[in-house]
Every structure is written in structure tokens, then in C-alpha cells.
């Protein structure tokens, strides 16, 4: 069933990261709710993904050892594990523990057997992720909310529920983003009809009442 959202809410959700000042806790909460509504995953699945990530970080990271650097990203209950660990044995054990978490239905084990990356490398990875997301928006070929981007040591991982056309566009944008060393696609392809079923219909916004606008 299509979900209906006012244009103002959708635009607010997409533009919030660019705004400075005058952002209240209530506004942030409303924006998060709007993004959750746009997401093609059900609200229940989104909640499960957050719970899976929380459990993995809490229960598994320490078991990987102090010399390890492990990240967990759950999308549609499939978990991407990235980072660096000291041995193949630890890598296999981390995968086993993640797979045992309730509701997990798949594990992408992308751990490298290597020393943990530096803070500088991780900062650069965060910057790459930001650039890829920004270029998704600039390209305008699909809703950027549909594709989750994770970057580890210059390698970009793409997750999401997308059509083949959307997947091709996302991969092309990621591959042509500066500093990206490699793109790994973990996208789940859905038929166009399914995408329309999960889509959001955006209602035209009503003219704002000037008296209701409060500056900050």
C-alpha cells in the first residue's frame, strides 16, 4: 500500500542535514519519523535492524579483541560486517555470533585480516560516504533514502531495496566518486511493481501561513 506524505515533510527530511541552527529536538524527531516512512522497509523491519546492530555492537565487538575494529550494519535483517580482525579464526567466530542473533537472516562477512585502521582513515571513509550520498541527491535518478552507504578503507558497500534501474544508477554514481577504491553491491533487487507498491505518494504542499513561521 502506498504511503502518503506532504511535500513539506519530505523536503524537510532531505534538507535537515544542510540546515544550521534553529533545529529543535521535536523537529529532529519529526524528520526521523518522515525518513522512516519513506524507507521501503517496514517500520518493524527498521526496528529489528536497529536492534540487531545494537546487540552485535554490545555483545560481539569486545569478543573480537581490543586490536580489532568491527562495524555492523543491518539492512532488511541482513548484516554487513566490516573492519579488521587479527585472524581467520576471529573472523569466523564473529560471523557465527552475528548469525546467531535473533531475526538475522543473512551475514555478509567483509572483515579483513589486518591491523585496525587509523582514525584518519575512518574519517576519510566517513567523508567518502557523505560524498556518495550527496551525489545520489545531485544525480536525482532515485530517492537517496533507498540506498544505504557504508565505507571501509575506501571500499564502498551499497545496501537497499531497489529496482534494477535504481541499482545501476547507484553503482555508477558510487564508482565515479573520488577516493572510492571499489564498490561492493549488496543491493536487493525488487520488481518495478513492488517498488510502486512500497512507494510514497507525495501530496502537494499547502501555502504556508506567514504568521506560523518562526525564525531562529
CATH code for the domain in which residue 156 is found: 3.30.1340.30
Pairing of the two strands 182-185 and 155-162: parallel
**Between 11 and 60, whose confidence is greater?**
60
Q: Which pLDDT tens digit goes with each residue over 93-123?
A: 999 999 999 999 999 999 999 999 999 999 9
SS3 at position 80: strand
How much is the pTM?
A: 0.78
The per-residue pLDDT for 29 is: 45
Buried b (16+ CB within 10 A) or exposed e, 120-135: eebebbeebbebbbeb
Q: What is the largest CA-CA distance in the chain?
A: 64
**Quick one: 54 and 19 in the same domain?**
no
For residue 216, tell me if it sits in a domain.
no
Contacts (Cβ under 8 Å, ≥6 apart) of 125: 117, 151, 152, 153, 154
For residue 211, tell me if it sits in a domain.
no
Instruction: Give the lowest-confidence range in 14-28, 50-64, 107-121.
Output: 14-28
**Quick one: 132 and 105 in the same domain?**
no
The per-residue pLDDT for 128 is: 98
Taking the C-alpha atoms of residue 25 and residue 27, their distance in angstroms, rounded to an integer, is 5
For residue 195, tell me if it sits in a domain.
yes
**Between 18 and 134, whose confidence is greater?**
134
For residue 139, tell me if it sits in a domain.
yes
Ranges assigned E (strand) in 50-126: 69-75, 78-85, 106-109, 112-113
**Quick one: 48 and 31 in the same domain?**
no
SS3 at position 202: strand
Structural domains counted in the chain:
3
**Quick one: 121 and 194 in the same domain?**
yes
For residue 54, tell me if it sits in a domain.
yes
Domain of 131 in residue numbering reads as 117-202
Amino acid at each position: 500500500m502506498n504511503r502518503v506524505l506532504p511535500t513539506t515533510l519530505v523536503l524537510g527530511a532531505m534538507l535537515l542535514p544542510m540546515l544550521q541552527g534553529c533545529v529543535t529536538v521535536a523537529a529532529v524527531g519529526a524528520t526521523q519519523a518522515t525518513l522512516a516512512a519513506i524507507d521501503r522497509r517496514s517500520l518493524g523491519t527498521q526496528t529489528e535492524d536497529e536492534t540487531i546492530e545494537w546487540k552485535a555492537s554490545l555483545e560481539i565487538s569486545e569478543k573480537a579483541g581490543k586490536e580489532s575494529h568491527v562495524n555492523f550494519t543491518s539492512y532488511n535483517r541482513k548484516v554487513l560486517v566490516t573492519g579488521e580482525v587479527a585472524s581467520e579464526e576471529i573472523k569466523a567466530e564473529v560471523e557465527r555470533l552475528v548469525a546467531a542473533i535473533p531475526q538475522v537472516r543473512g551475514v555478509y562477512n567483509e572483515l579483513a585480516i589486518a591491523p585496525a585502521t587509523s582514525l584518519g582513515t575512518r574519517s576519510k571513509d566517513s567523508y567518502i560516504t557523505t560524498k556518495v550520498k550527496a551525489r545520489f541527491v545531485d544525480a536525482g535518478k532515485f530517492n537517496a533514502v533507498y540506498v544505504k552507504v557504508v565505507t571501509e578503507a575506501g571500499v564502498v558497500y551499497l545496501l537497499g531495496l531497489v529496482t534494477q534501474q535504481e541499482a545501476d544508477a547507484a553503482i555508477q554514481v558510487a564508482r565515479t566518486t573520488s577516493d572510492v577504491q571499489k564498490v561492493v553491491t549488496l543491493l536487493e533487487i525488487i520488481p518495478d511493481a513492488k517498488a510502486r507498491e512500497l512507494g510514497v505518494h507525495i501530496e502537494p504542499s499547502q501555502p504556508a501561513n506567514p504568521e506560523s513561521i518562526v525564525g531562529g
